[in-house]
Each structure stands twice: as C-alpha cells, then as structure tokens.
Amino acid sequence: MMRLPKVNHRMSFLSLPPFSLPSLTTSVRTHGHLRTHHSKRFKSISTMPCRPGNLVPLNSIAAENVGSRSSASVSSTSTTEEEEALACKYQLPPPEIKDIVDAPPLPALSISPQKDKMLFLKRRSLPPLAELARPEEKLAGLRIDGKCNAKSRMSFYTGIGIHQLMPDGTLGPEKEVHGYPDGAKINFVTWSLDGRHLAFSIRVFEEDNSSSKLRVWVANVETGQARPLFQSPDVYLNAVFDNFVWVDNSSLLVCTIPSSRGDPPKKPSVPSGPKIQSNEQKNVVQVRTFQDLLKDEYDEDLFDYYVTSQLVLASLDGTAKEVGPPAVYTSMDPSPDQKYLLISSIHRPYSFIVPRGRFPKKVEVWTTDGKFVRELCDLPLAEDIPIAISSVRKGMRAINWRADKPSTLYWAETQDGGDAKVEVSPRDIVYTQPAEPLEGEQPEILHKLDLRYGGIYWCDDSLALVYESWYKTRRTRTWVISPGSKDASPRILFDRSSEDVYSDPGSPMLRRTPAGTYVIAKIKKENDESTYVLLKGSGATPEGNIPFLDLFDINTGSKERIWESDKERFYETVVALMLDYEEGDLLLDRLQILTSKESKTENRQYFIQKWPEKKACQITKFPHPYPQLASLQKEMIRYKRKDGVQLTATLYLPPGYDLSKDGPLPCLVWSYPGEFKSKDAAGQVRGSPNKFAGIGPTSALLWFAILSGPTIPIIGEGDEEANDSFRNIHNIEQGANSSVALCYLEHVFRFLLRYVEQLVASVEAAVEEVVQRGVAHPSKIAVGGHSYGAFMTANLLAHAPHLFCCGIARSGAYNRTLTPFGFQHEDRTLWEATTTYVEMSPFMSANKIKKPILLIHGEEDNNSGTLNMQSDRFFNALKGHGALCRLVILPFESHGYAARESIMHVLWETDRWLQKHCVQNPTDASAELDACKEEVSKGV
C-alpha cells in the first residue's frame, strides 16, 4: 500500500548521506570500502596471487596499535593468520578501512519553523559493544532498555549548534546550546511552534556505565541556554512509544513514568500453570514469523510496567499538571487550533502471536487540558489480518487532523473486511467529522476508493489530493477533490503504475500554516488567475535521475519546469520551501527553495535559490568525510538480460585504476532482488550516476572492483506470480550467445522456478558485462548481500556456481518452510505454494553448494523471518555435505549491525574471505564451463 510520508510540522531534518550510522537492512544503499592505490602499484590480477603489495597483511592487524606494515609475503596463508581467523575474538580490518569507518559523521540539520535558523545536530561515530550489551526486555515486538525506560539502542546527538540564516543566504557563527550535563545523550530535538525554544531529552552515563532515565530539557534559541522543563528532578520521560509534543508556544504534553510506579514485577519461580493457546473457535489466523513477542502473563505484566505513561501538561514557566489516567498511550496529537488532543492507546487483552501494533486500540478526543470529549473507536485485537499484501485492520484507521482546518478529523474505513482477496466496490471510504459534532451528526463521506487508501495532502476547501494504490497490480491513482464543495465531482489527476518511475509526476510541495501544520503550497504568477502547485520529483530517465520542480496547473494539467538538476555533473534535489510561513499565496517571483547538491567526488552541500534570478547561495561547506577516496571512480552501467530486459548497476573502481595498465581486477557483486509486474518497469533506470559515493561503516567491503546494486528483477506479468510459473526454455535460448553459461541455461532453466531462473539470468548478464569491459577477472568474482540479498547469494552459489568463486551472506533466511505464512512479497502460504517455498529455499539445495560461503548473522536478529536459527541450520546443512563454509554470529547485534567491534570484525571477516577465496582463487572459469558442458552431455 502506498503511504504518504507523515508530515511532522514540529521538526524537519535534512539527512546527509555519508556516515549517517547506517544499518545493513538495505545492502546496496551504501558502497564498498576502498584502499587508496596509485595506478603504478596495480598489477594484472591474472599474475597476482594475493592483494597488491601495499596492502596490509592480515596478521598485522589484530591489535589497535598496529605498527609499521609487515614486509612479509602474503602469497600464502600463515599459521598465525589461520589461528587468528579461528579464534573467537574481535578483529580489526586494515588501518585504511578502520580510519574510514571511524571518521566523524557529519551533523544532521534542522530548519526552524520560520526558516531563519538552522540546527547542526552533532553525532558521534559507532557505539561500543558495551552499549548493545546492556540488558533489554523483548516485549510485544519491542526492545526496551529498562534502565532508560525507552527503546533500546537509540542513537543520539552529542551537541546542538544554532546558526542564524543571514539575509545574504549564508550561515552566521555557531551558538552552542549549553547548560546540560557534560557527556549527555540528546534525543527528540523539537522546535516550538514559534521557533523561539527547543525541547529535547537528555540522559547521562551513571557509575555502572549504564544510561540514566530520560529527562526533558528546553533551550532558549536566542541565548542557547538550556534548563530542565520540570522543577522536580524525579519526573522522567517514558519514551517507549510517543514522548512529548508542543501543544502551543509555551507548553508541552509529556509522556512521563507514573510517580506511583514501584519496582518491576518479579518473575515467579514456579509458574501458575502451563502456557496454553487455543483456537477452539476454528478461526483462521495466519501470521508471519514475528520476533520478540509476549510469552506469558509475566511478560504481559512487564510490558504494562514499562509502557504505561502518565500524561503531564508542562509549561515553560515551571507549572505542570497531570492529564488523564495512566495508560499505555501510543500517540498524542494536538489539533491545529490547539483546543483538542487526539489520544491513542492500547490495552488488554494482549496477544502471544502478534506484536503491539495489532493489540486492542482506543482512540479518543480530549481537550488540551485533559477533559474527555468522546471516543472515536475501540478496535479489538487484530490477530486475523490476512497475510495478503494490501490487507489492513478492520475499523477506523489512519485517524488524523485535517491540516487546513482548526479541529476537523478524517479517517479511512475498509469495506472489504480488511482482506485484499475480497472483491468489493468501494474498497475504502474516507470520512471526515468535527472534533465535537452536533448531536446526531454523522460522519461525512469525503471520498470512496476502489483501491487501498494511501493518504491525503490537504490545501483548503477547494483542493486536496487523495491517494490510493493496489500492490498486486502496482496501480496508483491520485484524485483531486474539493472538500468544501459537495457539488464538485472528484476527478483523477494521475492514474499510473507505481513501478513506472519514468511517468512519476512528483509530489506536491508543502508550506507551513500559522498553526504549524503543512498544506499544499499554492503559487501565483503575476497577472495570472490560474491555480498552480509545485510538484517535485526524482525525474527518473534512461540516463538516470534528474530531479525537477514543476509549476503545475491543477485545473488544466499543464506544467512548466521551473527548476531542474544539473544532469551533466551534479545531482541536485529540492529539499524545502523557504519563506513559506508568510500569509497568502506564494508568489512565483518571490519563491525561495532549499536545495542540495553533490557529485561523484563532492559530498552533499546545501544551497538557497531565489527567484526570479534563481541565483544559488551555498550555506554549508562540509569537508570531504574521507579525502583518501576523493578520486574513487564511479560509473552507472547498462546492459541487457537474455530476455531483453534492460538492467543497470553502479560500478566502482579504485582511485588511480587504469584498465590498460592494470588489467582485470577481482570483483564483488553486491545486490538485492526486486519484484516487478512488467519487463518495461523492471528495465527502467533508477538512481543517478552523479550521486556522491557515500561510504558507510557497514558497506560491502571493496579492495578492488565492486558492482553495487545490479538490478535483479523478478517479473511476474499479468496474473503470474514473480516466484512462480515455468518458462519455455526455447524462449530463453533464442539469441543466447553467452560463452560463459549457455550450457547452464540448458541444464537449469528447464526445471527451476521463475525466481531462480530470472535471478541467474540477471546476475549472469551483470557478470558478463564487467568481464567484457575487462575490469573483472571471470574466475575472481564474488557475490554477496544482506537479508534478501543473502538469500539471493545462497541461491546463486547453488544454481549458478560457474559465475562466482565465493559468497558472503549476511543475516539471511535460507529455509522458507520456517516462514510458512509468507515472506518478502509472497503472500501465499506454504500449503498453497509448497513447490515455490521448497524450490526457492537454498537450504534445500545445500548439497549443491560447492563454492566457499561466509555466513554472518546478528545473534539478536528481530526481523520477521530472519531469526539467527536460519544461518545456524543452513551452516549445519552445508557442513553436513562437506561444503567450505564459515558461520559468524555477532553477539547482541540485531538485523542491522551497530557496534564498532561488530562492524570492524565484519569487515575483517569479509576482507579475509575475499582475499583467501577470491583474490587467491586459482580456478579457471573456462575449465569450469567445460566441466559443466560435459556433465550436461552425460545427462547428469
């Protein structure tokens, strides 16, 4: 289901791509690490038994205080190195990589509501493992740090710098927010509606090296002076769900830990009875493999203990009063006119098979001083939401305030029982109603939808945009409605495939209202009475993304491109409107926008552009985060699959690399498959060749060449499923001219499911491309991926062993029978599509995997379907068939890796694996192909 981004009018962050403490849940978003080489030091890989001579031998990097480089040869693995590799101790990658990972991250940015100031929110580098090792409670899909009474493993800021945005567009000197304890961890930084104050939480380290409970602080923006919000030092923030929100310019509503709360409940030494689950009513309940669920009554009590909050209305003058009873409040949202509160909470009965998002939910309207007005809904436990994609919960959902009205609510209700497999028209209805309706006044139908409701952009009574979409068909539609006119008929503005990025018209830019909400910005041209809006988009084209800003006539559909990224060298994007807080329509001739700009070798900077001259003024000057990689070579390459599908990938080559002098290199292919409904959509180019090559601490390691994010489309056209259906081998063979894999196509494509055959065909095309370019040696190509990319890696080593010399699979799921109620976008059950589940599982093909495979997994993986048992059992299956394999379990790590020790060790493991099984690989690819042909000819 398409979802609009939630617009938070209290805080707007500008994220910077490099070193934003990424996780590994998306494996191709950041790119591999390189060591700096000069072209003179490269040798042809065909004559190199090891890494280039200026790289550090592995046995010299075991300790942090590495001395001078060893001059010993690394052409063969030493006993010391093997002992290190087998020892269960954290290792460090070579200094060049360690320095890149430890580089200080750039700050996050936030603009004030009046667009006259900017915050630099300062961050640290990677956290130590000791922080992840702190005790945490795993309850209802949450992980809670009981010491802080907040979600565990929260990142934080180390400082706040305030910069004035000067009239000439430059930034004034930094004013540091001060007054809080040294070493405090800062979270939830939020502007007041008038931009005069900041609110944030802090926690400090205590004597036992743990973190204290959170307290709310406020700071005067003009002076930078910070102080506690509450006069009492015993009022603590409960930040498990929502935390605090500005109600008006001088008061906040805060979720606090109830003052009457005692010690946590103690787990009984002897249970009161057995653990029982029952389905004696024969209900159909199908759920995915959720992690960290409640297990018993003790867990229920513990969950209540940590998540129950007391709401407190606190003023900047120091006064505070409790509002409402203690409850498990999950969200609180003031109305635009600051008269009402929309309060959501969950309550018992809880569930042992679904997480907290499906617990019984109550939504109420209160006045801002805490008086109950009315109950909007009390939804029952939702254990029975169908697993079909686009299925939703029954009853009212997506309840919000209209951004263009003082206190009007709107929401959607399903008409199909929430089941995407039920055919009904309309499927969803959007309703609207005042916060306090008159007696007997019923909700008003705003719009009826035949697809699934996806959100609304509000403007005023004459204009709103309603979105709907349907995953199965990838259809998405945008409706124009006039909320204040019952006579005006809704009309479709855009009706397109969500996969067709070339046709994406963009989304409307929003402006700030005096109430602090955000609505669609109307633009006026001089001597022109037409109604214009601004549409900003990524501008996908066959040459890559070229972001744009269009002046769009909402009535006629005509558009004028008023700004576009420099497509030759730079990648620029529109970030936000400036001067949008003024009353009345925005004038085109006074338009001001904030843009970002980056290139292959220059990291992102921010600019203000003013109309009508459109002169850009640079306001940030961030240094290059890793200047040793400033000359990294990056290219977006295009090639075709055997069936004609256009594919793309990003090729990275080391600084100073010269193909004519250095010859082919070892290569790492790192990717993540995607599902599509059409060949045309699958072949469209996504991304930009001009984006800065941000290197994150958990990027795929690269000493040589990396092929990042080669598109691997799994296409299921029409009524076909992407994972299903046999394909006629003759259609594939037509035009097949690969000297590398023709025999493999003949041998494999007859018998495997569409997922595997398309997976192999896509990756084969990528490998052929880099080999034909001469940058990759055919016998020294490795493959890797994270999560679904790990699943891909294992399948490729099983079904396309001729393509790769080794593989690296991180945090994957390898046995789909362990996820019987769906995985990824597969919404059929194991019993409905048994063959699909079995044949797609690399676990079932463990006996076919002969190439070395490195498995890495977080011990505390909480992602649905990728529990660490998947890697453990896959490793045992591989070992049981004599495969060359290695399993690394990272203590305390989840689906994405966070601790410095873990990330450094992952890089060390990756480096070791690639050096041993890729760089030093003596296999002749042509001999392997001949062996494959011989097996096929014998009917093996």
Q: Identify each DSSP E strand in 507-614 by its residue range.
A: 507-508, 510-512, 518-520, 522-525, 528-537, 548-553, 559-564, 570-578, 586-587, 592-599, 605-610
Tokens 């000197």 belong to which residue? 173
Cβ(511)–Cβ(528) below 8 Å: no
Give the separation between CA 212 and CA 145, rounded to whole angstroms: 10
Give the strand pairing for 885-890 and 853-858: parallel
Pairing of strands 117-122, 159-164: antiparallel
Query: Could you write out the three-class secondary structure of 74-98?
Result: CCCCCHHHHHHHHCCCCCCCCHHHH
Whether 678 is catalytic: no
d(CA 512, CA 861): 40
Q: Which residues of 820-847 are buried (b: 16+ CB within 10 A; e: fewer)?
A: bbbbbebbbebeebeebbbbbbbbbbbe
Q: Is 895 a catalytic residue?
A: yes
Catalytic member of 309, 599, 787, 894: 787
What phi and psi values does residue 192 have, to the nearest 5 degrees?
A: -70, 165
64/655 Cα distance (integer angstroms): 26
Q: Which token pair is 815?
A: 């046995």
How many other CB atoms are found less than 10 A from the CB of residue 399? 19
Is the distance from CB of 164 to CB of 326 less than 8 angstroms?
Answer: no
DSSP code string of 352-411: SSS-GGGS-EEEEEEETTS-EEEEEEEEPP-----SSTT---SSEEEEEE-TTSSSEEEE
CA dist., res. 466 & res. 460, Å (int): 13
DSSP H stretches of helix in 705-753: 729-733, 742-748
Tokens 């809880």, located at residue: 350
Compute the distance between CA of residue 365 and CA of residue 374 in angstroms, rounded to an integer: 5
Stated as kind and residue range, the H or E segment containing 344 is strand 340-346
Answer yes or no: are the C-beta atoms of 210 and 257 closer than 8 Å: no
Q: How far is CA 775 from the centre of its chain?
A: 31
φ and ψ of 453, to 5 deg: -60, 135
Pairwise CA distance, residues 857 & 897, whole Å? 9
Catalytic residue among 37, 197, 895, 905: 895
- Beta-carbon count within 10 A of 669 CB: 28
What are residue 408's DSSP bridge partners? 434
Nearest in space to 536 (alpha carbons), one of 510, 568, 554? 510
Q: Which of 861, 894, 902, 917 is catalytic?
A: 861
Cross-strand bridge partners of residue 497: 475
Does residue 802 carry a catalytic annotation?
no
Q: Provide the edge-to-edge strand list for the sheet that holds 452-460.
A: 452-460, 463-470, 475-481, 491-497
User: Distance between CA atoms of 312 and 235, rounded to whole angstroms?
Assistant: 10
| CA pair distance 664, 646, nearest whole angstrom | 25
Tell me the one-letter amino acid at 758.
Q
Q: Active-site residue numbers?
A: 787, 861, 895
